[in-house]
Amino acid sequence: MGARPDLLKYFAAAFLAASCLTPAVLPDRALSQIAPTDGATEDAPAAGSTAADGSKAGEPRTEAAPEVGPEAGATATPSPDPAPGADPDVLDGLFEDLRTAEPAEVDAIEGQIWTEWSKSGSAAMDLLLDRGREAMDNLDTVAAIDHFSALIDHAPGFAEAYNARATAFYVDGRYGESLEDLRVALSLNPRHFGAITGLAIIFEDLERPEEALEAWYKVRELSPGQPAAHDAITRLELQVLGSEI
């Protein structure tokens, strides 16, 4: 897929275990590549077909990400409660713990946060989320996207549904649609460090290290002890800042 195995593993874990930026605080350059164009549409190419830029369907493009995502993501209505089954007080306490956590403690705390984020408030919706994740475990992205899309249809304000589908789109090489779902997930849940991680990895895959670095900085603000963020920032600062000297 083009992403380093260590970061892709974290990206997948953040989404599949349940997975921060709001549009207002996204890097301006990053947001300009994510926001959909009004009235624009994009039809998915047939498998194996060749686009005008010479890329194959299902393969990530190295140019700027497409601006238009799936219809469900573009028409979602934001909700003030992106995880209806979650306990806001529990989440606030976990984020406070995360800010002072040692590296060895980060995974456990983030896991608890992802668990809260996965609570839709409906047993039927939780089942759709679980089925989509099981399909992803089996690398069946078609089934996963179907389950996550059904979940979005029934719960358009549930941030984790978009976050999960973004992973499936990413694994399927559909970067534009993944970015659009990340945009919606982040607009619904402004503390979604898993979605920011996905954003950072996609920007690196698209050879846009400056935007990737800015996203990793935001991950570090939320989770200062996270080893993946520390390693990525160290590497990208050398690449970005070193090239400016």
User: What is the mean predicted confidence (pLDDT) over 28-42?
Assistant: 36
Contact 106, 227 (CB under 8 A): yes
Is residue 85 very low, low, confident or very high in pLDDT (cuts 50, 70, 90)?
Answer: confident
Per-residue confidence (pLDDT) for residue 241, from 0 to 100: 86
pLDDT-above-70 percentage for the chain: 66
- What crossing angle do the helices spanning 159-171 and 175-188 adopt, rounded to 10°? 160
All domains in the chain, ordered by first residue: 5-19+87-195 (1.25.40.10)
In order of 10, 71, 77, 83, 245, the CA distances from 80 in angstroms are 27, 21, 10, 9, 44
Phi-psi region of 38 (alpha: psi -120 to 50; beta: other; left: phi over 0): beta
Q: Read off the tokens for 49.
A: 């077909």
Q: Is the pTM of this model over 0.75?
A: no
Q: Residue written as tokens 């945009």?
A: 183
5 has a pLDDT exceeding 80 = no
In order of 86, 137, 205, the CA distances from 8 in angstroms are 27, 14, 11
Is residue 96 very low, low, confident or very high in pLDDT (cuts 50, 70, 90)?
Answer: very high
Q: 194 vs 68, which has greater pLDDT?
A: 194
Per-residue confidence (pLDDT) for residue 81, from 0 to 100: 59
Per-residue confidence (pLDDT) for residue 244, from 0 to 100: 58
3 has a pLDDT exceeding 90 = no
Is residue 59 very low, low, confident or very high in pLDDT (cuts 50, 70, 90)?
Answer: very low
The pLDDT tens digits for 129-186 are: 999 999 999 999 999 999 999 999 999 999 999 999 999 999 999 999 999 999 999 9
Q: What is the mean pLDDT of the chain?
A: 76
